[in-house]
Amino acid sequence: MNGFIITKLRGRRVWDSRGRPTVEVEVDLAGGAVGRAIAPAGASMGTGEAVDLRDGGAHLGGLDVQNALANINGEIRMAIAGMDATDQAAVDQVLIALDGTPNKSRLGGNATIAVSMAVAHARAVAVGEPLWRHLGGFDACTLPLPEIQIIGGGAHARSRVDVQDFMVTMPGASSFDEALVWTAEVYRLAGKLLEDSGRLQGVADEGGYWPAFATNEDGLELLVRAIEAAGLKPGEQAAISLDIAASEFGRGGRYRLALEEKDLDSDGLAELLIGWIDRYPIVSIEDPMAEDDEAGMRRFTEAAGRRVQIVGDDFVVTDAKRIRKAAAAGACNAALIKPNQAGTLTETKAALEAARAAGWGAIVSARSGETEDVTIVHLAIGWGVAQLKVGSFARAERMAKWNEALRIEESLGTMALFAGRLPFAGLAPAGAAS
């Protein structure tokens, strides 16, 4: 008997970190192994990403997932039962073909990603290995550099500040463990600085502080002060990473910074961001231009791409074709990798390979709506991706991921390598005033 044959598949409704319904899938194999995974959910989504199937109507704000569950427990189960879980590509191909749309809108990207990840987990359980080891074998020994949100804005804090994520990253740390210790100090001290200056309003969707700022630049100043207060050298040990998420406030090459009542075109926004790069120790900027502004993204990459990592999220939506097209146009030099933007693990891996083939960096990323599911940590380490983005340093759905990476680092012992400065190796020193 082939113990890897999928015998059962079931979907159930569970709840995410915003208290909204989401999809959990459990897969049983003939040999007795069980794999389980939960789909996350975005709030600041790219228009090109796989679509979550939601029921609509008034109940639960239209966000219930009964239709996605019916698909899992109905046609997906019929199609997948009897398949061999060792062939992830074949399983994912069945999901893609069964869905039949370019964006998983018929079956639901939430349904397909949960099934795809649960199959991978079941297979790893069946061979008795943790998923990261199963995916990467003995090559999987790199712990990613975490980028960790300190202040949340944009769609995650009702646009209290236009920039969505003010993050820190610790390229000077010598281990994942040390990077978290340093981050914990910066997070704590940033909170204290905000509170002492009467600018702390709570926490945003990913656990970062919800600030009362007069300008976006206040966030950058606060990060530098918190890094210094933690006894770390800005630009050497600790650096700043931003997610501008410009699709949230820009369209057709026009951008509206509501906080500062500024209307800018792409070049004006680029000039503002380059001014920040000149004055602050910034190593990475995500979605600096909107998803429909390829010309702006190309010009910004031309102007700043040798100094900072320029990450496409909404702009390339974990899609191999879009990554190849952006790379050919000279727009961005790194890709955010979010499995649920693609809808299957096979398509997620293809996007990662497209990024690597283009010489781009890559960051495995969570969504703003998360759960206790830690699959992305295993993907990052198993696939050898040097950066990981999970949100802030608070709230259990975030800490579950950081803590899982700590366990993996410990289990690797002296074999563990920490990515550290590796992702920024080709860049000119950050924060150097010109």
Chain contacts with ligand PGA (rule: CB under 6 A)? 42-45, 155, 164, 243, 245, 313, 365, 367-368
Q: Shortest distance, CB of residue 389 to ligand PGA, whole angstroms?
A: 7
Q: Which is nearer to ligand PGA, 165 or 409 (CB)?
A: 165
Q: Shortest distance, CB of residue 44 to ligand PGA, whole angstroms?
A: 4
Of 9-17, 70-78, 79-87, 281-289, which part binds Zn ion (CB under 5 A)?
A: 281-289
Q: Which listed option, ligand PGA, Zn ion, none, makes contact with residue 42 (CB within 5 to 8 Å by class)?
A: ligand PGA
Q: Shortest distance, CB of residue 40 to ligand PGA, whole angstroms?
A: 7
Q: Which is nearer to ligand PGA, 155 or 350 (CB)?
A: 155
Q: Which is nearer to ligand PGA, 44 or 110 (CB)?
A: 44
Q: Shortest distance, CB of residue 153 to ligand PGA, whole angstroms?
A: 11
Q: Shortest distance, CB of residue 147 to ligand PGA, whole angstroms?
A: 10
Q: Which listed option, ligand PGA, Zn ion, none, makes contact with residue 367 (CB within 5 to 8 Å by class)?
A: ligand PGA
Q: Which is nearer to Zn ion, 71 or 149 (CB)?
A: 149
Q: Which of residues 41-60 bind Zn ion (CB under 5 A)?
A: none
Exposure on the CB side of residue 83, measured as CA atoms within 13 A? 25
What is the identity of the amino acid at 279? R
Q: Shortest distance, CB of residue 398 to ligand PGA, whole angstroms?
A: 12
Token pair of 172 as six digits? 């000077």
Q: Which of residues 235-254 bind Zn ion (CB under 5 A)?
A: 243
Q: CA nearest 338: which of 289, 390, 400? A: 390
Q: Which listed option, ligand PGA, Zn ion, none, makes contact with residue 419 (CB within 5 to 8 Å by class)?
A: none
# residues contacting Zn ion (CB under 5 A):
3
Q: Which listed option, ligand PGA, Zn ion, none, makes contact with residue 43 (CB within 5 to 8 Å by class)?
A: ligand PGA
Q: Which is nearer to ligand PGA, 16 or 185 (CB)?
A: 16
Residues in a beta bridge with 34:
28
Q: Shortest distance, CB of residue 138 to ligand PGA, whole angstroms?
A: 32
Q: Distance (Å, rounded) from C-alpha 20 to C-alpha 346? A: 27
Token pair of 40 as six digits? 């996350």
CA dihedral angle for residue 188, residue 372, residue 370, residue 240, rounded to 10 degrees: 30
Q: Which listed option, Zn ion, ligand PGA, none, makes contact with residue 309 (CB within 5 to 8 Å by class)?
A: none
Q: Which listed option, ligand PGA, Zn ion, none, makes contact with residue 45 (CB within 5 to 8 Å by class)?
A: ligand PGA
Of 85-93, 268-276, 311-319, 341-349, which part binds Zn ion (CB under 5 A)?
A: 311-319
Q: Which is nearer to Zn ion, 141 or 244 (CB)?
A: 244
Active site residues: 206, 338
Q: Which is nearer to Zn ion, 243 or 404 (CB)?
A: 243
Q: Give Cβ neighbours of residue 150 (< 8 Å, ≥ 6 apart).
A: 166, 167, 168, 186, 187, 190, 208, 209, 222, 223, 226, 392, 393
Q: Which listed option, Zn ion, ligand PGA, none, makes contact with residue 387 (CB within 5 to 8 Å by class)?
A: none
Q: Which residue in the set 16, 162, 248, 313 belongs to the binding site for Zn ion (CB under 5 A)?
A: 313
Q: Distance (Å, rounded) from C-alpha 388 to C-alpha 395? A: 17
Residue nearest to ligand PGA (CB): 42
Phi, psi of 352 (to 5 degrees): -60, -45
Of 29-37, 72-80, 92-100, 279-287, which part binds Zn ion (CB under 5 A)?
A: 279-287
Q: CA nearest 274: which of 263, 285, 264? A: 285
User: Which stretches of the chain bind Zn ion, using CB under 5 A?
Assistant: 243, 286, 313
